[in-house]
Amino acid sequence: MAISEAGIRPKPIGGLELWSWVFMRLSGVALLGLALGHLWLMHMVHTVEEIDYAFVAERYGATFSFWRWYDMALLVLAMLHGLNGVRILIDDHVHTRRWRGVALSLLYGVGGAFLIVGAVVILIFQPQLAQAIP
């Protein structure tokens, strides 16, 4: 996709780039809502003194709790949004086909690993009720 004389990149016509363009806008709006909701809940509704292991254990008490899926949606959207943004930067600035392939492989490998580790922590976490220290 070429940049016009005015320096404005036109909207993609089709294929992966079009869906990438649409995803960036939709995920950006969704992330804005999820992140603001998270910040509001963690900093306005609850205080720093309240947020500890017991707080998270209570939120993640049920296997299919709303908060697990909220945090999972935040993780997945943030990772995919960020990876897509870096993919676009790599496509724009790495001109050699070989180095672009290396850079994209590293990006997908590291991003995929972080996504898997984060998902495992969120979905497999089994809270142990915090016990009072005598």
pLDDT band at 59 (very low <50, low <70, confident <90, very high): confident
Mean pLDDT of the chain: 87
pLDDT band at 48 (very low <50, low <70, confident <90, very high): confident
Furthest C-alpha separation in the chain: 72
What is the pTM (predicted TM-score) of this model?
0.79
DSSP one-letter string for 107-134:
HHHHHHHHHHHHHHHHHH--PPPP----
Residues 125, 60: Cα–Cα separation, whole Å: 8
Q: Under CATH, which number does the domain 16-124 receive?
A: 1.20.1300.10
Cβ-based burial of 2 (10 A; exposed 0-12, middle 13-18, buried ≥19): exposed
- pLDDT per residue over 62-75, tens digit each? 778 899 999 999 99
Q: Could you tell me the residue ranges of all domains in the chain?
A: 16-124
- Map tokens 């320096």 to a residue: 7
- pLDDT per residue over 86-126, tens digit each? 999 999 999 999 999 999 999 999 999 999 999 999 988 88
Cβ-based burial of 71 (10 A; exposed 0-12, middle 13-18, buried ≥19): buried
Percentage of residues of the chain with pLDDT beyond 90:
59
- Map tokens 């580790």 to a residue: 117
In this prediction, residue 55 carries a pLDDT of 87
